[in-house]
Structure 1
């Protein structure tokens, strides 16, 4: 399992911008489906996930 996680981390590091964009898009989709009810919580979760992926943070 460790090898898989290392490969996943390397992939996220190499494609940080795309990972951050995907997280943002996923957060927007969830926000839309919940009617904006959990907007602040979703944004906070997306921001935290974006800071933990990749070497260079591409957050908004």
Structure 2
């Protein structure tokens, strides 16, 4: 596998080991994109964040925003 694939696999394993921290990161990125786009793509960012959460077994929404 190429370097990018190796990095993606390492990131996924790290997220599985620390799902709470990964959830905060994913939710932070989603929030940043929503803010910068004026929530224009809110449905798409929600769907993408949900897919990322599922990829490592994350819990979803972090309540301390």
Please, what TM-score do these two structures have when normalized by structure 2? 0.72
Q: Which residues of structure 2 form unaligned runs of 5+?
A: none
Distance 1:3 1:35 in 2: 34
* Cα distance, 1:6–1:41 mapped onto 2, change above 3 Å: closer
**DSSP 3-state at the match of 2:50:** helix
Answer 1 or 2: higher relative contact order, Cα 8 Å, separation at least 6: 1
Alpha-carbon contact 2:16-2:58 (below 8 Å) kept: no
Superposition RMSD on alpha carbons, in Å?
Answer: 1.9
| Ranges of 4+ aligned residues in structure 1 off by more than 2 Å | 1-10
**Corresponding pairs, count:** 58
Q: Which residues of structure 1 form unaligned runs of 5+?
A: none
Matches within 5 A, 1:1-60: 1=3, 4=7, 6-53=9-56, 56-60=57-61
